[in-house]
């Protein structure tokens, strides 16, 4: 019995860690705790109801609601006149309340159950991949004894769940504009065509990816379909993230502390955007050669002594490969750190809309801001899924790229796959970079359009 436990200690450790994480996340409600204390805003309907019922919104100072209006209740009452002399615009209707989200509020949001399951399953898969990286197992133990099948199965299940969720949230009704959905379809088809045309020869000539086996037939169509799927599903999240960055760093110059971020949060947003772009460029061959120690210091492009100096001070090729993977890991972790500030800016975007329309005219029309506040509150967990998917996908693909063929031992059913396992590792690493590249490309393009006043936040 003891020998059997020692033989299968790796899968037992993986199963134990996964169960502990699942029960811990479910008992302490870690996914909801991750969103706890976000500040959202509600625009109460102060119009009297025909049946005499009062709205659930209370006056400021009751039930945790905080008014953003500087007028006191006494001043607002003094402004009330008789129905005959009442103006077209009632200032009471312009009030907006700040609300701190807790578990009760979050459980009423759309996609909250899917978010909790995806959050738990993803981190169970990531910790299982991390445990496999540190566990030592002899190669002759066999496929089931070394426990590699546990993180692989969890990762495949997590990838399948994220794929189905991304399709649902991308084409969810009223969650995004029709033009954004049409652009998502366009970029998806473009990514599919790019994969079919340039895999693998065109990719290997420009990028630092070396596929040891030819990609043809079903495998080529499958990888190209994944590229197109990711390109289509990541456009809307990247554009929302760019708007959050634009608003959080106060690029519009509103100087409103209730809308923008503090200096520390701004530093996180800037570092996140810069690091994503930097990591996306590390696999492009002309730029990657700058960081590699060529050894001979020969100038290749006419820059003379400057290129010789850089060539002697760069990384070794093996160290540079590890450096790129560490940067990819750091970029994904920083995206998770920046998720809460981005969510707060997503909620503050509705506040900015209310503020702009409140001061647009003497008799403002607040119906648009009222609808926008409702939608931003209603689809909060949907946006969480969109912001959490890219870093989680990168981490899972990066973890799968570190599982070697020796982990399968002497399993005869997978003997045909072992020669291609280095190729599978390179494909998963390429997909991890592809997610980062798409995020950097889309977000940078949206920011450039905002900078040139083609797009604006409202």
Give me the tens of pLDDT residue by residue for the chain, a chain 458 residues long: 666 766 678 888 889 999 999 999 999 999 999 999 898 888 765 444 444 333 333 333 444 445 554 455 555 455 554 444 544 545 555 677 888 888 888 888 999 999 999 999 999 999 999 998 888 666 566 667 777 888 999 999 999 999 999 999 999 988 888 999 999 999 999 999 999 888 877 788 888 887 766 677 788 899 999 999 999 999 999 999 999 999 999 888 877 777 888 889 999 999 999 999 999 999 988 777 787 776 654 444 444 455 555 555 567 777 888 899 999 999 999 999 999 999 999 999 888 888 877 776 666 667 777 888 888 888 999 999 999 999 999 999 999 998 876 555 555 555 555 556 777 888 999 999 999 999 999 999 999 999 998 888 77
Is residue 78 in some structural domain? Answer: no
Number of domains comprising the chain: 1
| pLDDT at residue 189, rounded to an integer | 96
Residue 456 within a domain? no
Residue 52 lies in a domain: no
**232 and 181 Cβ atoms separated by less than 8 Å:** no
* Full domain range(s) for residue 127: 2-35+62-73+90-451
- Asked whether residue 80 is domain-assigned, the answer is no
Q: Is residue 355 in some structural domain?
A: yes
**Residue 48 belongs to a domain:** no
Reported pTM = 0.85
Percent of the chain with pLDDT over 70: 75
pLDDT of residue 139: 59
Q: Would residue 98 count as lying in a domain?
A: yes
pLDDT at position 296, please?
53
Structural domain includes residue 82? no
For residues 169 and 182, give the distance between their C-alpha atoms in angstroms, rounded to a whole number: 14
The DSSP call for residue 207 is B
Nearest to 108 by CA among 35, 8, 211, 206: 35
> 250, 270 in Cβ contact below 8 A?
no
Rounded-to-10 torsion of CA 219, 228, 401, 381: -140
What local confidence, expressed as pLDDT, does residue 56 receive? 34
Q: Is the peptide bond before 226 cis (omega within 30 degrees of 0)?
A: no
């Amino acid at each position: 019995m003891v020998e059997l436990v020692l033989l299968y200690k790796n899968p037992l450790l993986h199963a134990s860690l996964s169960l502990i994480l699942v029960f811990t996340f479910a008992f302490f409600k870690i996914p909801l705790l991750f969103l706890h204390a976000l500040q959202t805003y509600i625009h109460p309907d102060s119009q009297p109801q025909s049946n005499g019922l009062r709205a659930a919104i209370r006056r400021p100072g009751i039930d945790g609601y905080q008014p953003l209006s500087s007028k006191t209740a006494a001043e607002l009452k003094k402004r009330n006149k008789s129905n005959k002399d009442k103006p077209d615009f009632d200032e009471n209707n312009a009030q907006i309340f700040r609300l701190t989200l807790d578990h009760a509020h979050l459980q009423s949001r759309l996609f909250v159950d899917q978010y909790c399951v995806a959050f738990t399953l993803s981190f169970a898969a990531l910790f299982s991949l991390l445990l496999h990286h540190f566990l030592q197992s002899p190669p002759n133990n066999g496929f089931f004894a070394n426990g590699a099948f546990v993180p692989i199965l969890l990762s495949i299940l997590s990838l399948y769940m994220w794929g189905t969720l991304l399709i649902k949230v991308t084409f969810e009704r009223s969650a995004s504009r029709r033009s954004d959905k049409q652009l998502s379809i366009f970029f998806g088809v473009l990514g599919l065509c790019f994969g079919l045309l340039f895999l693998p020869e065109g990719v290997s000539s420009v990028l630092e990816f070396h596929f040891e086996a030819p990609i043809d037939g079903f495998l080529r169509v499958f990888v190209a379909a994944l590229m197109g799927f990711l390109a289509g599903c990541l456009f809307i999240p990247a554009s929302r993230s760019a708007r959050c960055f634009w608003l959080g760093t106060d690029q519009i110059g509103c100087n409103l502390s209730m809308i923008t971020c503090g200096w520390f949060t701004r530093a996180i947003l800037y570092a996140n955007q810069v690091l994503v772009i930097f990591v996306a460029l590390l696999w492009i061959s002309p730029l990657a050669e700058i960081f590699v120690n060529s050894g001979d210091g020969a100038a290749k492009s006419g820059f003379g002594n400057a290129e010789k100096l850089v060539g002697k001070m760069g990384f070794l090729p093996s160290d540079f490969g590890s450096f790129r993977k560490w940067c990819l890991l750091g970029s994904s972790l920083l995206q998770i750190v920046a998720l809460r500030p981005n969510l707060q800016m997503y909620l503050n975007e509705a506040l900015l809309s209310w503020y702009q329309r409140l001061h647009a005219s003497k008799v403002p029309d607040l119906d648009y801001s009222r609808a926008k506040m409702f939608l931003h509150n209603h689809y909060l967990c949907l946006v969480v899924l969109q912001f959490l998917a890219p870093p989680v996908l990168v981490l899972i693909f990066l973890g799968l790229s570190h599982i070697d063929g020796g982990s399968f031992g002497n399993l005869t059913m997978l003997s045909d796959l072992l020669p291609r396992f280095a190729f599978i590792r390179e494909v998963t690493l390429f997909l991890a970079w592809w997610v980062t590249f798409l995020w950097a490309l889309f977000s940078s393009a949206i920011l450039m359009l905002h900078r040139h006043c083609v797009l604006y936040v409202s």
